[in-house]
Amino acid sequence: MIRSLAAGLCLGTLLLAPVASHAQTKPQPKAEVIHWWTSAGESAAVKVFADQFTKAGGIWVDMAIAGGVNARTAAINAIVGGNPPTAMQFNTGKQFDDLVENDFLVNMDSLAKSEKWASIMPAAILAAVTRDGHAYAVPINIHGQNWLFTSNAALAKAGATAPTNWDDLFPALDKLKAAGLIPLAFSGQKNWERGLFNSVLAGMGGGEMFTVFWGKRDIATIKSPQFRTVVDTYRRLHNYVDAGAAARNWNDATGLLIQGKAGMQFMGDWAKGEFSAAGQTPDKEYGCTVLGAKSVSYLMGGDVFAFPKQKDPTKTATQMMLAGLLLDPATQIAFAQKKGSIPVRLDLDTSSLDACARKASGWLADPKTQVPANELLSPPALTGAVEDLISQFWNDPSMTADTFIARLASTMAQPF
Amino acid sequence: MKNPMRRKIGSRVPAQIALVPAVMVALVVYCGSTLWTVWISMTSSRMLPNSNFVGLRQYSSLMGNERWSTSVSNVLLFGGLFVAASLTIGFLLAVLIDQRVRAENLLRSVFMYPFSMSFIVTGLAWRWLLDPTLGIEKLLHDIGFASAHFDWIVRPDRVIYTLVLAAVWHASGLVMAIMLAGLRGVDTEIWKAARVDGLPVWRTYVSIVIPMMAGSFATAGVLLSTSVVRLYDLAVAMTNGGPGISSEVPAKFVMDHLFERGNVGLATAAATTMLMTVIAVIAPWLYWQSRQRAAGKLT
């Protein structure tokens, strides 16, 4: 028994040896990438990266996992289990804080320096991948989160015009309501209830109040009269939502705009994918704008690729090779076209993007308009706790604005 | 005397060796993971588990968490109504089928059918049925009952009852099958004796048949109770905890905080609290059972 086992081992070693030496002489870089871009438009976008990597002589192993939470859980389990992927997707923000703290991610400083990230990216996006002065991820794209989409068919039917500021919003909503249409298409999941709140907070309260609320958790700001106006406006919007909203998905709400059954929807720019899948184009069948106070506050979220530390140095070389491709100007434009986002580099010619993306590029030219999104400012645990409160306030008409503000203040004071 | 003894030991050793993997799995996977969960609940773990001891801080923030208290009261209300309604309806269905009705096999299949569906499918189907802009309410409006209202799924104060409705629909068929087996196990002589004594049928059920079916009720009750504790997928598919936090349940609290919210410390504190509650209910029952067994009343 033992003798045959030893013989088997010897034989196995003999057989494996030439294979291993062969592999060492000609290593072909192989990139395993975990991401959650699974819809038609998204997978077309990620194929832009895959094609570039293949063209550069690598093998792209696509590990798409549906759903952000599932994909991140799988990737983190792989890292903790000692089998890290080459690259993994995160949303721009604090999702990878713990991985940085535990020293699981490759430092990207050399790339950031050679490509001059500081001069080509919005400061908030660069800050979102930087911890203690070091870059730990590569930003890929920027998604705007607080767009107001309008259905031109529905507005025409109600005799209303697309609002350009908060004062025009409510008269237009009233006209839509009077015409028997759904004024505000809405989907009653907690994250969209928070998304709508954020649109009002950034739009009426301004970028500074938004940053202070989520980033500094300043109690005085929460108790200020300006914040109170934001809360009241948010509550007022509930009058324009239909009963079916509670059990509706965001893309079905966008579908109501496409069919001309609803007038407006606050949503991120990923909603453009629904419109273009239905053959509609911006500024023609539908409108897109961001409502602001004195100036527009464009809530910038997006995606990054992080590169978990590897034991094998050849794998680290593969990571740097992949990271170097992501910010190539042509790749950035091609990716943004497919994804409906805008490039993370501000020094590119965006004339080939759609009308909404061109508006966004124009706003982002001004640093005052760039406002970091919720995910960039607060850790998921705090965001979740506040989200629960926002959701309770939105759904419970008996909860007064005072109660809501008092409970926000006490939640913000907790350690997160 | 010696011979059978040796045979007994000889036959036991291989059996015990064969059990070792199962025991190891139980010890390492279940007990080990449970202890680890309890330990992590006393640390400040966020997205990744760490070993920074903070005592009972996670528990105190759990107790102050309104979503948690809503989840707990929801699952108690849900559990009570769901178990009671499923047992009652299941038993009544079994009694009806037991009347030697025609097409018994067909009816049995129809009643059992919901149980063959996953909670996700059940939840989605009921979500669409109860959606006031798509389902029953719209149907009533379309056929002329314009004032009809059936919007419980979007009302924070009623939504939990819609979960009960869907879960009862799902589970009643299974309870019926268990109860039917119990009813068929009742000796026909008992029925004859009751008829001779002039006992009304309902009285025979209440005073004689139901007490004889204690085993069936216990089996169904245990099965239903476990599905109350792990109530998760139905709530996710049907209401996703909404509107607001009005249909949140403890298992969903744990899952959301474990993954989406990167708050492993709070999630494990909630999981430990759930475990303690279940133990607090089961332990006295097991103790009572062992006392009964010792007294020779139970086999």
| Rounded CA separation A106/B87 (Å) | 58
CB contact under 8 A, A247 and B239: yes
pLDDT of residue A20: 45
Residues of B in contact with A80 (CB under 8 A): 48
B245 contacts on A by Cβ (under 8 Å): 388, 391-392
The overall average pLDDT reported for chain B is 89
pLDDT of residue A18: 44
**Among B61, B242, B259, beta carbon nearest to A188:** B242
Residue B18 one-letter amino acid: A
Q: How far is A289 from chain B (nearest CA, A)?
A: 28
What pLDDT digit, counting tens, does each position of B204-219 carry?
999 889 999 998 999 9
Distance CA B83, CA B105 (A): 26
Predicted pLDDT at A185: 96
Least confident residue range of A132-146, B21-35, B139-153: B139-153
Does residue A157 contact residue A181 with C-beta atoms inside 8 Å?
A: yes
Choose, out of B129, B152, B261, B264, the residue to mutate when testing the contact with A (most A CBs < 10 Å).
B261
Asked if B244 contacts A387 with a C-beta cutoff of 8 angstroms, the reply is no
Higher pLDDT, A294 or B253: B253
Instruction: Give the whole-angstrom CA distance, residue A380 versus residue A68.
Output: 13
- Cα A150 to chain centroid distance, Å, stands at 21
Concatenated DSSP letters for A289-321?
E---SSS--EEEEEEEEE-B--SSHHHHHHHHH
A336-367: buried (b, 16+ CB within 10 Å) or exposed (e) per residue? bbbbbbbbbbbebebeebbebbebbbebbeee
pLDDT bracket for residue B10 (50, 70, 90): low
Contact B235, B163 (CB under 8 A): yes
* Predicted local distance difference test score (pLDDT) of residue A188: 87
Contacting residues for A353 by C-beta, under 8 A, at least 6 apart = A333, A336, A337, A342, A361
| Confidence category of residue B5, pLDDT binned at 50, 70, 90 | low
- Shortest Cα distance from A113 to chain B (angstroms)? 30
What is the tens place of the pLDDT at every residue in B158-200? 999 999 999 999 999 999 999 999 999 888 898 899 989 988 9
Residues of B in contact with A388 (CB under 8 A): 66-67, 245
Which pLDDT belongs to residue B251? 95
Other beta carbons within 10 angstroms of residue B144's beta carbon come to 7
| Residue A224: count of CB within 10 angstroms of its CB | 16
**How near does any CA of chain A get to the CA of B260, in Å?**
6
Tokens matching residue A416: 């997160």
Cβ count near B181 (within 10 Å)? 14
Whether complex ipTM tops 0.90 = no
Q: Is A239 on the interface with B (CB under 8 A)?
A: no
Q: Taken in order A181, A185, A188, A193, is the CA torsion positive or negative?
A: negative
Quick one: which of B65, B51, B74 has its CA closest to B267?
B65
Could you tell me which residues come within 8 angstroms of residue A241 by beta carbon, excluding any fewer than 6 positions away?
A: A182, A183, A184, A186
Half-sphere exposure of A371 (CA within 13 A, CB side): 29
pLDDT score, position B298: 56
From the list A10, A85, A91, the residue with the least C-alpha distance to A383 is A91
Better-scored residue on pLDDT, A17 or B127? B127
- pLDDT tens sequence for chain A (416 residues): 444 544 444 444 444 444 444 444 556 899 999 999 988 888 889 999 999 999 999 999 999 998 888 999 999 999 988 999 999 999 999 989 989 999 999 999 999 999 999 999 999 999 999 999 999 999 999 999 999 999 999 999 999 999 999 999 999 999 999 999 999 999 988 999 999 999 999 999 999 999 999 999 999 999 999 999 999 999 999 999 998 888 788 889 999 999 999 999 999 999 998 898 889 999 999 999 999 888 899 999 999 999 999 999 999 999 999 999 999 999 999 999 988 899 999 999 989 999 999 999 999 988 889 999 999 999 888 999 999 999 999 998 899 999 999 999 998 888 77
pLDDT at position B4: 54
In terms of Cβ atoms closer than 10 Å to its own Cβ (0-12, 13-18, 19+), residue B115 is: middle
Contacts 24+ apart (CB under 8 A), B165-168: B165/B126, B166/B122, B166/B123, B166/B126, B166/B234, B166/B238, B167/B78, B167/B82, B167/B86, B167/B122, B167/B227, B167/B231, B167/B234, B168/B82, B168/B85, B168/B86, B168/B89
Distance of CA B266 to the CA centre of its chain: 24
Cβ count near A80 (within 10 Å): 14
**Nearest-angstrom CA–CA distance, B271 and B275:** 6
Does B91 score more than 60 pLDDT?
Answer: yes
* Record: contact A381-B262, CB cut-off 8 A: yes
Give the whole-angstrom CA distance, residue B30 versus residue B25. Answer: 7
Which residues in chain B are contacts of A91 at CB distance < 8 A? none
Bridge partners (DSSP) of residue B204 are none
**Tokens read off for B139:** 């149907």
